[in-house]
Amino acid sequence: MSLAASPTISTSNRTIRIGSRKSQLALVQTYWVKDQLQKAFPDRTFEVHTMSTQGDKILDVALAKIGDKGLFTKELEVGMLNGDIDFAVHSLKDLPTRLPEGLMLGCVTERENPADALVVHANHKDKQLDTLPAGAVIGTSSLRRLAQLRHYFPHLSFKDVRGNLNTRLAKLDAGEYDALILAAAGLQRLDMADRIHQVIPAEISLHAVGQGALGIECRSDDGEILTLLKALEHLPTAYRCYAERAFLRELEGGCQVPIGVNTVLEGDVLTLTGIVASLDGKQVVKDTITGDATEAAQLGTQLAQRMRSQGAQTILDEILATIERS
């Protein structure tokens, strides 16, 4: 990750309190942010404060059945609004597209590889996703991954998997699963890139909105914090993620609805591809839009509206009805 040019350094003596979930990945990401800010502002004091979110506490229920909005963010947001912490570091894919009044997305960091990755049991080291045997059990807690992979590989079996990354990998290695689908970025950040058996191409699985980037949420009226955070802003990533988040927001989909995206930025030209798929993978609406990167949010909104008219909204309505009945 690279840094933008540092803004004017504030001379305030205020200690900056950074909020984080307690998971290993969340802490690695948060301490990276703390370290980068400390380098940019060596005279400032930064502290990390950890909290457990609802998503961290409920590990025996599929994410889609819990209710996804704010699942990994709400407690941190309450902490910001109460003044207990000054900003929170999130995996951007976990941050809802509609934030509580008084809070905003203050910064998007440079993106790691946003792709999904195949991690296999030792018995399948000689296999790729398309050569795994019929009935092989694939672990994923993401409806987005589930829907897309069912579309291309209906002969595979899919089973929910929860817990932190180490817990999931332990279940895989113990033989509960033949393979897992995980975010490549998370494995890379935890120095587990050697577990990536195959990076799944976008043609097979479009990634989650914001996947691979960190989103820093803060109070919208805290000018001092917003100024500090500009040291971490990565504008090319921000443009891509603004388009993706606008796309998701327009479709009113949370992180547990099977909506996938892919963005490419070439100079000032942004290309956004989106997909909405039914849970069984049999119905798919997919489209692409290209335009000026400075109009990223408008591009995302336009693509969502276009896909809604192509049948995406009907698919989403059916999925939400299914989840509510289950």
Section 41-57 average pLDDT: 81
* Catalytic residue status for 94: yes
Which bin fits 210, alpha (ψ -120 to 50), beta or left (φ > 0)? Answer: left
Section 108-119 average pLDDT: 97
pTM: 0.88
116-199 falls under which CATH superfamily? Periplasmic binding protein-like II (3.40.190.10)
Residue tagged active-site, from 86, 94, 116, 222: 94
CB 41 within 8 A of CB 69: no
CATH 3.40.190.10 domain locations along the chain? 1-110+213-233, 116-199
* Residue 319 confidence (pLDDT) above 60: yes
pLDDT at 257: 80
Q: Which residues contact 153 (CB under 8 A, 6 or more apart)?
A: 129, 130, 132
Neighbour count for residue 126 (Cβ, 10 Å):
7
CATH 3.30.160.40 fits 235-326, yes or no: yes
Which among 287, 203, 274, 212 is positioned nearest to 243, based on CA atoms?
A: 274
In whole numbers, what is the pLDDT of the chain averaged over residues? Answer: 90
CATH 3.30.160.40 domain locations along the chain? 235-326
Section 160-174 average pLDDT: 92
Q: How confident is the model at residue 100 (pLDDT cuts 50, 70, 90)?
A: very high
Q: How confident is the model at residue 155 (pLDDT cuts 50, 70, 90)?
A: very high
1-110+213-233 falls under which CATH superfamily? Periplasmic binding protein-like II (3.40.190.10)
Q: How confident is the model at residue 207 (pLDDT cuts 50, 70, 90)?
A: very high
CB 105 within 8 A of CB 215: yes
* Residue 53 confidence (pLDDT) above 80: no
What letter represents residue 315's amino acid? I
